[in-house]
Amino acid sequence: MNSPPAVPCVFQASSHGNWGSWGPWGQCSRTCGGGVQFAYRHCNNPAPRNNGRYSTNDVNNSTAKSFRQEQCEARNGYQSDAKGVKTFVEWVPKYAGVLPGDVCKLTCRAKGTGYYVVFSQKVTDGTECRPYSNSVCVRGKCIRTGCDGIIGSKLQYDKCGVCGGDNSSCTKLLGSELSASP
């Protein structure tokens, strides 16, 4: 039997959660032919902040680095051109022009240029497919999550911006403007 599947341990960047032990294998989805069988483990050794979910308000988005950005920056360094001249290259994630089927590849662009490289066919599991998306990459495939960051969850943001909310925490001021209540 193969090793249990990789499932992203989704947590706030400043948290330091780690995987716990694998649970037992579940029942196979079919009795004959190709089926699916799952095993689970929790991000609880130790548990990260926010129960391993995406942060909604705790990270200052202007200074926080995305997981994809960290993976691109790990490739920063001196590179030689065709003439042997060394220059320091800073790598940043490339999002524009990346095809939907390629969002889980590690495609980085040399900062300040249009030059880009696909460094890996798969980003690290748990990397967001695109900025501010409710989806993460698992084994090179983009998998939808709820706004709570949980795979398989159907939770969505309500019109007030509350994950799983019922539209009751904001009030209509004028026309279509909304004000969130404290």
**C-alpha–C-alpha distance, residues 124 and 114, integer Å:** 24
Q: Is the pLDDT of residue 117 over 80?
A: yes
Q: In what helix (H) or strand (E) does residue 136 lie, and over which residues does it extend?
A: strand 135-138
Q: What angle do CA 165, 169, 175 make, to 5 degrees?
A: 110
Q: When comparing pLDDT for 18 and 128, which is higher? A: 128
| Complete domains list, the chain, with CATH | 1-59 (2.20.100), 65-144 (no CATH), 155-182 (no CATH)
Give per-residue pLDDT as tens, 48-68.
555 444 333 334 444 568 889
**C-alpha–C-alpha distance, residues 72 and 67, integer Å:** 9
Across the range 155-166, mean pLDDT stands at 88
The tokens for 130 are: 């695109």
Q: What residues are paired with 86 via a beta bridge?
A: 80
- Whole-prediction pTM value? 0.58
Q: Is the pLDDT of residue 111 over 90?
A: yes
Q: What residues are paired with 163 via a beta bridge?
A: 157
**C-alpha–C-alpha distance, residues 145 and 127, integer Å:** 12
**C-alpha–C-alpha distance, residues 115 and 101, integer Å:** 20
Task: Identify the weakest region by mean pLDDT among 18-27, 73-82, 102-111, 162-171.
Answer: 18-27
Give per-residue pLDDT as tens, 8-18.
554 444 455 66
Q: Is the pLDDT of residue 134 over 90?
A: no
Q: Is the pLDDT of residue 128 over 70?
A: yes
Q: Report pLDDT for 176.
A: 56
What is the DSSP track for 92-142?
EE--TT--GGGTTSEEEEETTSS-EEEEESSPPTT-BSSTT-SEEEETTEE
How many C-beta atoms surround the C-beta of residue 149 within 10 A?
Answer: 24
Cβ pair 10, 136 in contact under 8 A: yes
